[in-house]
Amino acid sequence: MTSSVSLLFGVHAHQPIGNFPEVVIDAHERCYKPFLQTLYRYPEFRFAIHFSGWLLDFLFEHYPQDMALLREMVTRGQIEIFGAGDTEPVLAAIPERDRIGQLKTFSTKLKKKLGQPPQGAWLTERVWESTIVPALVNCGIRYVIVDDYHFICAGKNKTELDGYFTTEEDHHTLDLFPISEALRYRLPFSPAPEAIAYIESLIDQTTTEHQPAAVYFDDIEKFGIWPETYQWVYEHGWLEKFIQGVLASPHIQLQHYRDYHASEKTRGIVYLPTTSYIEMNEWTLPAEPAHIYDDLVQQAKSTGQYEQTRSFLRGGMWKNFFSRYPESNWMHKRMLDLSARYASLPTRQRTSAMQQCLYASQANDAYWHGLFGGLYLPHLRRTVYNNLIELEALLDQCTPRSTSYREDTDLDGTEEIYLQNGAVQAVLKLNNRASICELDSYPLKHNFADTLARQTEHYYRKIQPDLQGTSSHQQSGIASAHDRVSFKHAISQADLEPDLYAQHLFIDHLNDELLDYQLQHPSDQADEVIFQAMTDFGSINKCFRITGNQLLVSYVCSGEASGHMQTEINLAMPSCDGPGGRYIRNHTVLSGFGQPIELDDLTAITLEDDTLGGSLSLEITPATKLHASPHFTVSQSEGGFEKIMQAVKLTLTWKVVDGQQQHITLHFDEMNTAA
């Protein structure tokens, strides 16, 4: 029997494209810099690291000295660099041609910046589908790491998972390393001696003559950014204690993945199911199924059956996020359409700017939500749309689109009508709401309809007034963010009430009842779209038209009119409740977007936004009453439960008068031309 265990230690460093610079700077100061500087002092401590492409570019630009340190550690053989898609996409969620392009782009970047092309690859969120194998193999990747949970779901026993296995797809073979869940939860949260003792204990668990491996690869942000970890890892010395303990152990052999892969044979063939890590499989489920799943897991744990049954308690799959969140699905399907348009261009017309926009729009973070803010963070979705809109404008210069056309973009069974003139694009949902689901200004590269509806989340049942400000952790070491119950903001029950409909633009009520519309003018060549709602007293016609950098919306009521009408306009303003956004009327600043306002007899108002670099002005004839308020959602993050402003909700109210026309104009301006 072997007397040692090979420790394959790896960390993954990532920041979302579009994250706030101050957040990345803080992450560098509290994590990336001290981690590298600590490891640099121990050249014999070998490890693997993966930086996502955008983060690597940021660090090279802003911290060249630290990156010189990184390169030296690569050169002296201390670090093995892992590849991935350049913008950290979920490979299973993008087309095959883009998988190959993303992988090759990042491998080329690693070779240029660090002098080492990768043999191994990090899988974003460890999302596994066998369809990704050919792209990885064709790009020179020989092995990837996924969770041991993936293998357990395929029928493997934990004691078997001390080396790598081989899989294949369409005659492409790829080797797979199983990341130890037990190590993921111990490092860096358990005291260093306990973590080292656990690694040493794996020697006694091996059942073969192979050299056993303890496989660890997880987020580097756990080493300084997660709550309490900076003090624990650096100020209290956990990392140095761990390094010194590993190096002093006669039973732990530090190896690179590439060296272990070269010296050991595969443990055999394996075919993994479509899955991700175990927490993700809960996050992908809607609230009610997630409750059931979580209850089953807790029941299995309480009866001591969890380890035997968890491979059959699998939860959902990552792509469920597209069916859970219509907003995520819409972004994804828009991205797929633009990817196809880009791919259909003759090679000579494709530009690096187009490719960069496409790849940036495929960054995973804005498409899903779990422990981290993800989809709930407006600035991450905004970055996706910035790139989609810029890409669409570039493609339109090469292959102009019709100014009006219909399709079912998001595959929900309801078509949309696109109206666009190169400056403005309005996408109208052809359901009975007759609302705008996307409203783009091409000069501003912004989608003003990029809002998010409130829906019930599984973790809402943790939000109780008596728990606010507490933590559930009572063990030695420090708590993982997975085990915490903490609050960044006070949350009320009213904050958790789900929205009754999508937070689109121009959702209409008559006497507090939602109006049901039918399309009246469906011509693909029309420069306007007209809907009609039938009421007890007559009809209401609603017309959309774009001209120049304006959207024109008008209403005409006919019949025995009475009561009042309201339209709700949900606007994604980048500054949200920050200091850069403000309401302006008659050259006077009224307030920021985070404060509610009431105005009577409104004929004009401007929403000016520094982050946007422009403004949106409303002109209304005849005058209406305005109620404006922030629209918040509640989500969880590694820092606790929080309220996030998603939109400015403008509600215009006017008295219904037979035959009277109500006109609302939205005018988009860049800041240097804004009034």
5-32: per-residue pLDDT in tens? 999 999 999 999 989 999 999 999 999 9
- Quickly count: other Cβ atoms within 10 Å of residue 395's Cβ: 21
Query: What's phi and psi for 247, nearest 5 deg?
Result: -65, -30
Q: Residue 204 burial by CB count (10 A; 0-12/13-18/19+): exposed, middle or buried? A: exposed
Of 286, 307, 459, the residue nearest 373 (C-alpha): 459
pLDDT band at residue 636, thresholds of 50, 70 and 90? confident
Other C-beta atoms closer than 10 Å to the C-beta of 651 total 17
Q: What confidence tens digit (pLDDT) does each residue in 496-529 have?
A: 999 999 999 999 999 999 999 999 965 555 679 9
Q: How far apart are CA 314 and CA 355, in angstroms?
A: 36
How far is the C-alpha of 361 from the C-alpha of 392, rounded, in Å?
A: 12
The amino acid present at 619, given as its one-letter code, is E
Closest among 272, 80, 275, 92 to 176, alpha carbons compared:
272
Region 441-468: mean pLDDT is: 87
Q: Is pTM, for the whole model, over 0.85?
A: yes
Q: Model confidence at 471, in pLDDT bands (50, 70, 90)?
A: very low
**Would you call the peptide bond into 443 cis, given omega within 30 degrees of 0 as the criterion?**
no
User: pLDDT by residue (tens digit) across 64-122?
Assistant: 999 999 999 999 999 999 999 999 999 999 999 999 999 999 999 999 999 999 999 99
Q: Given the residues 57, 66, 181, 219, select the one marked as catalytic.
A: 219
Does 58 or 486 have the greater pLDDT score?
A: 58
Mean pLDDT value of segment 568-584 = 95
Residue 83 φ/ψ region, left for φ over 0, alpha for ψ in the -120 to 50 degree band, beta for the rest: beta
Among 88, 125, 365, 416, the one annotated catalytic: 125
Q: What is the mean pLDDT of residues 468-492?
A: 59
Distance in angstroms (rounded) separating the CA atoms of residues 675 and 670: 10
Residue 601 catalytic?
Answer: no
Go through the domains of the chain in sequence order and give each one's CATH number.
5-276 (3.20.110.20), 484-670 (2.70.98.10)
Per-residue pLDDT tens over the stretch 541-557: 999 999 999 999 999 99
Residues in the chain: 675
Closest CA to 176 of 257, 117, 90, 281: 257
The pLDDT score that the predictor gives to residue 292 is 94
Instruction: For residue 219, indicate whether it is catalytic.
Output: yes
The confidence band for 470, taking pLDDT boundaries of 50, 70 and 90, is very low
pLDDT digits (tens, 9 = 90+) for 272-329: 999 998 889 999 999 999 999 999 999 999 999 988 898 888 899 999 999 999 999 9
Cβ 614 vs Cβ 646: under 8 Å: no
